[in-house]
Amino acid sequence: MAKFTVGVSAALFGADNKPCFDERILAEVRDHDEIEMVVMPQEKTHLDAGDAARFDAVYLMLERADAHTIDTPDRKLKLIARHGVGFDTIDIPGMTGLGVMVTNTPVAVRRPVATMALTLMLAASHRLLEKHNLTRAGRWAENADFMGTGLTGRVLGVLGAGSIGSEILRLVAPFDMQLIACDPHVDKAHLAALNTKKVDAKELFSEADFVIIATALSEATWHFVDAQKLGWMKPDAMLINVARGPVINEPDLIVALQQKQIKAAALDVFETEPVDADNPLLKMDNVITTSHSLCWTDECFDNIARDGLGSILSFVAGQTPHYVVNKDVLKR
């Protein structure tokens, strides 16, 4: 009997060919009697017809998957498991139409991304990178010119109060900030239990001293943060994005920062990734940038791999994985 063949993203392995998470988690798939595991080529950026014909399932990190490139008569592919919570690189409607199940790992990233959001807020509010550079340049006498912003009593606005947004609101409680959130899919009672007031977008952007973007990327949130909403923000407010780059209209943000409409930004994500080396955001002293990886910790990747590879193990065992993105595929 042929084994169930699984293609695994090469992006999940370091130069030493070891996975960037606990190898014992990978071993559950690699050493499974009914599974043949194959590491896909390092240069692969998109799934193609050859992959769909070769693999029963794939475990993807950065690769894109579009239905039209894998829809061939000899397709074996039945499952795409994402190493992470986002699935904007996967053609979800197309995969549903083909009967290909897509899974992600929403719970695994909740705490790591929430702590990343607080890390960026604290770094921006305390002007960490600027003071780091002052120290290295021997410019201690200039410290008074780089005063930070305290958090006590300030207003934190969270755009998107789902799993990650709610975790941010839980973790920030000891800082004694005023908490507000905007999310049409979350009710007032849930937010009230987190000592948070539910507001609309205008109130959130107008009142917040810190805005953290934690919403999923969708047609409704594409470029949601635009010139109008940035114009509502206070001139001393700071914007933190730990969601997806295209939630912000990046040219509008660049203008807002250049014209000092807002004080600072901290960004782990960009509209185009990898970000262009000439992007003005990379040259601004009041912008903290990280490479869509600040939450990458042993805790984060172990959690993700456990859930992501676990979905493949469940599928092989004839069970429905816990975190199916395109649930309509279950009706087929």
Assign domain 110-289 one CATH number from 3.40.50.300, 2.60.40.1180, 3.40.630.30, 3.40.50.720: 3.40.50.720
Report the relative pairing of strands 35-39 and 79-82 from DSSP bridges: unpaired
DSSP 8-state assignment for residue 65: B
Round to whole Å and give the CA distance between 198 and 9: 40
Find the DSSP H helices in the chain: 23-30, 49-54, 67-70, 92-98, 110-125, 128-136, 163-171, 188-192, 201-207, 227-232, 250-258, 298-316
Q: What is the pLDDT of residue 62?
A: 87
Round to whole Å and give the CA distance between 292 and 302: 17
Q: pLDDT of 237-278, one tens digit each?
A: 999 999 999 999 999 999 999 999 999 999 999 999 999 999
Q: What is the pLDDT of residue 124?
A: 98
Residue partners of 173: CB distance under 8 A and separation at least 6: 194, 195
Architecture of domain 4-106+297-331 in this structure? 3-Layer(aba) Sandwich (3.40)
223 assigned to active site: no
Round to whole Å and give the CA distance between 124 and 112: 18
Average pLDDT over residues 58-85: 95
Angle subtended at Cα 44 by Cα 40 and Cα 49, rounded to the nearest 5 degrees: 85
136 assigned to active site: no
- Find the radius of gyration of the CA atoms of the chain: 22
Which residue in 63, 244, 250, 271 is the catalytic one? 244
Taking residue 96's Cβ as centre, other Cβ atoms within 10 Å add up to 20
Q: With a cut of 80, say whether residue 1 has pLDDT above it.
A: no
Q: With a cut of 90, say whether residue 86 has pLDDT above it.
A: no
Q: What is the pLDDT of residue 37?
A: 97
Round to whole Å and give the CA distance between 292 and 223: 18
Which residue in 82, 110, 111, 292 is the catalytic one? 292
pLDDT band at 331, cuts 50/70/90?
confident
Q: What is the pTM of this model?
A: 0.89
DSSP 8-state assignment for residue 279: -
Q: pLDDT of 141-185, one tens digit each?
A: 999 999 999 999 999 999 999 999 999 999 999 999 999 999 999
Average pLDDT over residues 304-326: 97
Q: pLDDT of 96-154, one tens digit each?
A: 999 999 999 999 999 999 999 999 999 999 999 999 999 999 999 999 999 999 999 99
DSSP states of 212-268: EE-PPP-TTTTT-B-HHHHHHS-TT-EEEE-S-GGGB-HHHHHHHHHTTSSSEEEES
Q: pLDDT of 19-60, one tens digit each?
A: 999 999 999 999 999 999 999 999 999 999 999 999 999 999
Residues of the chain with CATH 3.40.50.720: 4-106+297-331, 110-289
Round to whole Å and give the CA distance between 92 and 65: 9
Which residue in 23, 34, 142, 273 is the catalytic one? 273
273 assigned to active site: yes
